[in-house]
Structure 1
Amino acid sequence: MDIAPGPGIVRAMMTDFDIVVAGGGLNGPALALALADAGLRVAVVDARPADARAGDAFDGRAYALALASQRLFSALGIWGGLAANAQPILKVQASQGAPGDGPGPFGLNFDSAEIEEGRLGYLLEDRFLYRALLAAMQGKVTHLSGVSVTGQDIGPSGVRTILSDGASLTSALLVGADGRGSGVAARAGINRLGHDYGQIALVAAVDHELPHQGVAHQYFMPSGPLAILPLPGNRSSIVWSEDASAARAILALDDAAFLDVLRPRFGDFLGRISLAGPRFSYPLNLTLAESYIAPRIALVGDAAHGVHPIAGQGLNLGLRDVAALAEVIVTARRRGEDIGEAAVLARYQEWRRPDATWLAYGMDGVNALFSNANPLLRAARELGMGVVDAIPPLRRGFMRQAAGLRLDPMPRLLTGQRL
């Protein structure tokens, strides 16, 4: 990535903030913390009330954090308070099969002992991660919750962000971290590419009789993949992608009937299972912004790329954006550049768009390849997984990619270094 200074040097300008971030989920606060730690004035506009996100009750929603993402949270100073609630991912096993048949004879087996870092990643519940980010923002970041961004006026030297309560904020840069239906992107005239998968993801947590040993499982079935992700204790989170019409019927079932449908897919390798919390669902689609930047606008996370949940890479992709954009902005500020100037933002897009696009279409291709019952494709899939599994250097390459360790160049935050 070329980080040579652009022509835009900061001009004297009075603004409320250096950066306004639209979106208070996870990527927005993480970016705000990284920037605030480097001395920038940052506001996060969060449409949901803070207390609606920061509940104490277990609900089963969790994230598979790549090792690089864990290092980012360490650099932000919050991992120490999260580690006790995080489940290390020691192994990943991927195979294909059909409900009731069990896994096929060949598959991928990733063991963290094969890489020098000793971890592939961690499973962490949403409630712990959001609360840690919320607490860390106190005193560093202006957090406006329960209001949304309704407009943006772009000028030659700044942007005015208009809020739903009638207030407005001025800044050098507006960052859209506001999800797949990003209003920031739409108002900036950024078009989107993509398609609907015809699948719905069913998300829940299960208690099981036997320990999971820190192993994450990915089963590829004709109607869609099922991920079984280890949580602390004898408990796992499931992300079950199913044909949309079948998923709607499954969602209408009571808990007992839901488990009756799940069990043949889940198998009995963890003994008896039971639901450990509420069930959630969301439709699956691929949506990619044609540009991650516009005049005084940058997009991160799902606002830039919404991907299939195979391998749990959605949040990890967003955190790669966070690390890259924060580094570009902080470097530009220290050089005396205008952080919202086009040449500065172009460095961010050059750094992030190829990687995210490649990974998004890669997962799109994997879903298309595996979500069918074609016997010829099934045989080819078995052969392909068997070959990768049998060649240690190739297998370790896939492992390091999944752990987020193969970016070039690697943003400093993803190595655990502060900016």
Structure 2
Amino acid sequence: MTSTQKLRPDASPEVLDWISLVALFPLFLTKWSLAFLFSNQKSLHWRQNCALTFLRTQRSIFPTPLLRWLVRRVSTGSTIKDYCSKHKIAHQIVTLPASSTELHPALLPPAVLHILTLGNVEAKSRSGKAPTLLYFHGGGFVNPLRSPHMPFILACGHSVRAKQIIILEYSLAPEHPYPAQLIQCVASLSYLMCTSSGLGISAEDIILAGDSAGGTLVGSVLSHIQNPSPYAPMLQMKSGEEFQAAVMISPFVRLHKESMDSPMGSYKMNEKRDYLTRIQVDEFGEAWKGDEKEVWANLCGVEGADKVWQAVFQGKGGVRLVKKLFITVGTAEVFLDDCRFFGGESYANTQTVIAKQEKSKDWTEELGSWERIMVECEGEAHVQAVLDAALGYQDGVMTRAIMTWLKTL
């Protein structure tokens, strides 16, 4: 066993790790080149294929602990500050008080909010108000926000004509496993909505959004408001008040092993098309330690979850938590089946739009027709829109779907 194989998240690589990295690099370049040339996803743009084969090859060649150390060298906060400084974006940091509860007595590090003021502060949404976009980043709960997230998040903010974007810097697993992130997400939302000690933003002016694990956290917060967990304080909503929208991009919605083990399921069918694999999902889950028996972690995999989501999205007598819901997933994702399950009639009850690669198929006209919609993006992989933004590619179907839908708000 090499030192890399037992590398802790907080440990630096040893000399042998660096030697291994250098020695494997020629093999990586060779395998990546061949994978790109002989890719079986010809419907995608060459830049998309380049990114996907890069990630798949990287994770097949280099040891996971070393890759994780490389990713975690730069914190979420540092990435945001550096990006905002480089691009001259107004940036304010708010550190929330550390918190603990009876069922989670360990004092968590304080959650940190990064408030980005957009240049188009006078812009208004179709409702006549400038919304606030609260964004939870992905990374399997163990990785910080990375620089490729930033152009994507900013594009979302501009598309919805937001006054400001607020990004939560939450604590990472395995040092801070579930429900740490849920507690910090609730605290951030409470701060936004509190009139006495926070920003006093109305729920109807807030758009909740997140990708991958961040999409899971959007669901975690909504399920906590509807069905309060014992881990965080209740978040009171005014009578009849509802969030303007919720956006869940390639969310991880079901922890049940049945969806992973089905021989015809998307974990099996897409294991060579997506860059995310069953092994990696298991590793993230082991670090995060989300409770499979709780709806705040296992969004649609527990008994009674259907009633929670029906109340969140459909309500009784018109009383619901979210005015509009947007879910998107690639048809080449391992999460495809689970997202379809969550979007089904028993849970989110979404209308499904199949987003085709061919531009002649004008599926974008359908996006503003329904209050709850799931877009399946033909041939695209996990959080494809974030990868595309990193490459400056704006014609991917997931990117077009998200930005087009946000402009309808």
TM range (shorter): under 0.3
Structure (1 or 2) with the greater strand fraction: 1
Structure with higher Rg: it is 1
TM-score between both structures, scaled by the size of structure 2:
0.25
TM-score between both structures, scaled by the size of structure 1:
0.25
